[in-house]
Structure 1
């Protein structure tokens, strides 16, 4: 197809793509920064080796009690000075302190930190060892550990990062660009051309969607190669979910930029809209952690809908039919936002 035969919308999209790749800093923030962030978080929350239980033993029978616990490889037993064990427990250098009695028959005292889960776990583990010594014939309980796809934190994190980048690409990548063009009087010049307004707005959205989808492919490939994150569902359906999410946030970004007159104004509006979703929409932790009274609001947020659909396809192997509720909500957000922005968009 010749350039002359290409639809005006196509020319506008190509122009936006060329402008984007002439800005190295924009390329880095779109493609490089998400990789840096997912690498840092993936390393910080990587799988830990087998848990070691730190126990301090003090008192007259400390040596004998240390010998009893040393039979279990889970325990790392330390015999600190009598004046140090409280500080060690407070600072987290040990999980539990066992204060032994004056004689072997006197029961020990346990000192734990009830606000720390590892301290309570250590107390339970030591109690089980002592109980097994008292009742050696009790049946052993078999332990099985879940090690399936999607059970690690990085498996939970990657879909949230994809959703967050789709939101950032749609909001900042469109809202900021449009307002910048308005400030530099470029929109006023475009208004004097025979270009249709809807073609311009669609070109900004489509160009940004192309950049963002390439970014998502980058992230998914990197997550698989670096951390072994797999997609349990269909890659085609996952791509469709990302396209719907990217289009929805592109419409929201366009709506926010429709009336903003300065860079400061659009920056404030973007942060006002995005910050609650960063916190509440389940990017770094589950949105279910919020109280039940807030759940209707949390679940209605567009980023929550997108993250739920992404995790449903990637982790649970769901189809888009199963995830129709969050996807329908995303479509509604996008259609309403784009329709309103067409009506209220200010060119001057």
Structure 2
């Protein structure tokens, strides 16, 4: 007499095969994050900063001012930061208004700097232009300083980006794949048929999560390994801890995907709810830039988001070489979200 297979095992294998047979799903899980990392890595590769465009004008009909403007262009061209260009007065003001230049220098007596102080590049251009013109006029620095340029692994944008992309990918694939898979099964009446089988609700929901986790290691190898091969992005901490962190994050977002799909009847509804859940985390959780840039008043909300906590833990392991105790708090936040979402999904899930 043959032994009966475990419902959980059979459902997990079924979910894994279903995923493999979807080329578009394989692309979004493995190829897309790698392509995004490569594109952004080359865009923000190690190179000198781009020169800031600066305009120089002089009042029409004033020969002395126009000669001073020509000398100013030559002086500013000696700065490695600035890219000066001579304009007529009206043309220069229009270039500043439309953002073609970051600073407009009007060679009057005294010279006038026109710039938008809310733009960081404009403030930098103003300081650099003032320094160059002052030195050309004979100013000497009372204090001599020595600058040392530092470029280390962990301080580059690509080092910051790869953990964020890994967290974003874990969120996107966990929520999208499960929300759509369960909703699609409900639409095709597959869930209705499964009710008649010797299977518990928890078996079905756990199989969805386990089927997704089976692709976690290849996903990590593609993104983390690609970052190491192409951009020398190192993992300073424990690979085992990094894997465990990814595993916890994947399970949490799978639980969120199950919660979204627990009552939704249409693919449009699942898509809308998934976007509603993920959009705040895309914007606030520090995938492409630090979440510390947001005002202090919203920081408690930002730090409570599961993707923020996951990205913090991933960057702690990869960039800072943090230990388990050092990332215990963000991991606890991620775990709390996962337990809560799965428990609620198990409670309110319906087959039809």
Q: Distance in 1 between matches of 2:93 and 2:86?
A: 12
**Which deviates more from structure 2 when the two are superposed, residues 3-12 or residues 336-345?**
3-12
Tell me whether 1:84 sits opposite 2:110 in the alignment: no
The 8 Å contact of residues 30 and 212 in structure 1, kept in 2 or not, is answered as no
The 8 Å contact of residues 241 and 320 in structure 1, kept in 2 or not, is answered as no
Tell me whether 1:129 sits opposite 2:132 in the alignment: yes
Q: Distance in 1 between matches of 2:3 and 2:227?
A: 42
State the Cα distance separating 1:180 from its structure 2 match.
0.9
Tell me whether 1:235 sits opposite 2:235 in the alignment: no
**Which deviates more from structure 2 when the two are superposed, residues 28-37 or residues 184-193?**
28-37
SS at match of 2:146: coil
For the aligned residues, what is the CA RMSD? Answer: 2.4
**Equivalent residue, structure 1, for 2:287:** 283
**Equivalent residue, structure 1, for 2:201:** 197
State the Cα distance separating 1:34 from its structure 2 match.
2.0
Matches within 5 A, 1:145-160: 145-160=149-164
Q: Relative to structure 1, is the Cα distance of residues 120 and 332 closer, same or farther in structure 2, using a 3 angstrom cutoff?
A: closer
State the Cα distance separating 1:83 from its structure 2 match.
4.1
Q: Distance in 1 between matches of 2:278 and 2:288?
A: 14
SS at match of 1:187: helix
**Equivalent residue, structure 2, for 1:29:** 28
Q: Distance in 2 between matches of 1:301 and 1:238?
A: 19
State the Cα distance separating 1:184 from its structure 2 match.
0.9
What are the superposed Cα offsets for residues 7-43 of structure 1, whole Å, 9 maximum, x if unpaired? 4422322221112112222222222222233333333
The 8 Å contact of residues 188 and 347 in structure 1, kept in 2 or not, is answered as yes
SS at match of 2:326: coil
Matches within 5 A, 1:99-118: 99-101=106-108, 107-118=110-121
SS at match of 1:98: strand
Matches within 5 A, 1:144-183: 144-183=148-187
TM-score, normalised to structure 2, is 0.87
Q: Distance in 1 between matches of 2:120 and 2:237?
A: 34
Q: Distance in 1 between matches of 2:32 and 2:74?
A: 51
The 8 Å contact of residues 169 and 212 in structure 1, kept in 2 or not, is answered as no
**Which deviates more from structure 2 when the two are superposed, residues 309-318 or residues 58-67?**
58-67
Q: Distance in 2 between matches of 1:5 and 1:233?
A: 43
Q: Relative to structure 1, is the Cα distance of residues 50 and 288 closer, same or farther in structure 2, using a 3 angstrom cutoff?
A: closer
**Equivalent residue, structure 2, for 1:97:** 104
**Equivalent residue, structure 2, for 1:38:** 37
Q: Relative to structure 1, is the Cα distance of residues 258 and 5 closer, same or farther in structure 2, using a 3 angstrom cutoff?
A: same
Pick one of 206, 212, 215 that aligns with 1:211. Answer: 215
SS at match of 1:84: helix
The 8 Å contact of residues 81 and 128 in structure 2, kept in 1 or not, is answered as no
Pick one of 306, 309, 333 that aligns with 2:310. Answer: 306
Tell me whether 1:269 sits opposite 2:278 in the alignment: no
State the Cα distance separating 1:140 from its structure 2 match.
2.3
SS at match of 1:61: helix
Q: Relative to structure 1, is the Cα distance of residues 289 and 347 closer, same or farther in structure 2, using a 3 angstrom cutoff?
A: same
Pick one of 143, 146, 152 that aligns with 1:139. Answer: 143
**Which deviates more from structure 2 when the two are superposed, residues 301-310 or residues 336-345?**
336-345
Q: Which sections of structure 2, spanning at least 5 residues, go unmatched?
A: 58-65
State the Cα distance separating 1:71 from its structure 2 match.
4.6
State the Cα distance separating 1:178 from its structure 2 match.
0.9
What are the superposed Cα offsets for residues 159-206 of structure 1, whole Å, 9 maximum, x if unpaired? 111111111121111121011111111112122112233222211101
**Equivalent residue, structure 2, for 1:343:** 347
**Which deviates more from structure 2 when the two are superposed, residues 232-241 or residues 77-86?**
77-86
Q: Relative to structure 1, is the Cα distance of residues 131 and 30 closer, same or farther in structure 2, using a 3 angstrom cutoff?
A: same
The 8 Å contact of residues 53 and 74 in structure 1, kept in 2 or not, is answered as yes
What are the superposed Cα offsets for residues 295-346 of structure 1, whole Å, 9 maximum, x if unpaired? 2222111111111111111121111211111111211211222222222221
